[in-house]
Amino acid sequence: MPPSYCRIKYMIFVPTLRRFAALFALASVLSLAAGCGSLDKASNSVAGILEPYRMEIVQGNVVSREQVAAIPKGASRAQVAAVLGTPLLTSVFHADRWVYAFSLFQQGKPGQLRQVTVYFKGDTLDHIDADKLPTESEFVSSLRTTVALPAAQPLQATEQALAKFPAPAPKTVASAPPPARTSYPPLEP
C-alpha cells in the first residue's frame, strides 16, 4: 500500500473517532446531569404520581405533658425512671442530669424534635427543663394514619365458577405394615 493511502485513512479515521468520543462524552455528561435532578421536583411536576417512599423514623423516648406533671418535686431517680422511662442520655461527667430526647420524621410532615432534661441534686429531683410538650392525645393524633383502602370484594364463588375446577380425588391412606416382633433377652439371669 502506498503511504498516501494510510495517511488518508488516518486523516479520515482520527477526526471521526474524536467526534464520536466528544459526542459520547457530551451524551454521558448530559445523562448524568439529568440523573442528578431531585426526585422531589420530579414528583411535584407529575402531580404526585411518582412519589418516593420515605420511611417513618422514630427515635428516643416519647414524653408527654401528663408524664411531666405526674412527677412531684423531690422525687427519687427511681420514681422519675418509673414515670419517664430510661433516659436516652446520661453522662459520667454530668451524673446529676438525665436527657430524654425524641424525634419523629414522617413523609410529608415537618419533623418533631423534643427534649426533656431532668436535673437532680443528689438522688432527688431538683427541676425539669422541657420543650413545649404535646398531650398524649395530641401526640397520637400527629401520628400517621392508616391509608384508606377500597372496600374488599366479598369472596364468594358461584356454582358455575366452582364447576370449572375438578373435585379433588379422595386421599387413600396406605396402611403401614405392623411392626416386626422382637424379643429381648431377660433382664435378670
Residue 28 near residue 34 (C-beta atoms within 8 A)? no
Residue 64 near residue 134 (C-beta atoms within 8 A)? yes
Q: Which residues contact 3 (CB under 8 A, 6 or more apart)?
A: none
- DSSP class of residue 74? T
- Please report whether residue 35 resides in a domain: yes
Helix (H) or strand (E) holding 84: helix 77-84
Q: Looking at residue 56, what is its pLDDT? A: 78
135 and 75 share one domain: yes
Q: Which domain holds residue 131?
A: 57-142
**Domains contained in the chain, number:** 2
% of the chain surpassing 90 pLDDT: 13
Q: Are strands 57-60 and 89-90 parallel, antiparallel or unpaired?
A: unpaired
The model carries a pTM of 0.49
Residue type, 137: S
CATH code of the domain containing 89: 3.30.1450.10
Q: Are strands 97-105 and 57-60 parallel, antiparallel or unpaired?
A: antiparallel
Q: Looking at residue 43, what is its pLDDT? A: 47
Report whether pLDDT(54) > 60.
yes
Indicate the range of 49-53, 74-78, 108-112, 166-170 predicted with least confidence: 49-53
Indicate the range of 28-42, 59-73, 128-142, 175-189 predicted with least confidence: 28-42
**CB-based burial label for 117 (10 Å; 0-12, 13-18, 19+):** middle
- Please report whether residue 96 resides in a domain: yes
Q: Looking at residue 107, what is its pLDDT? A: 76
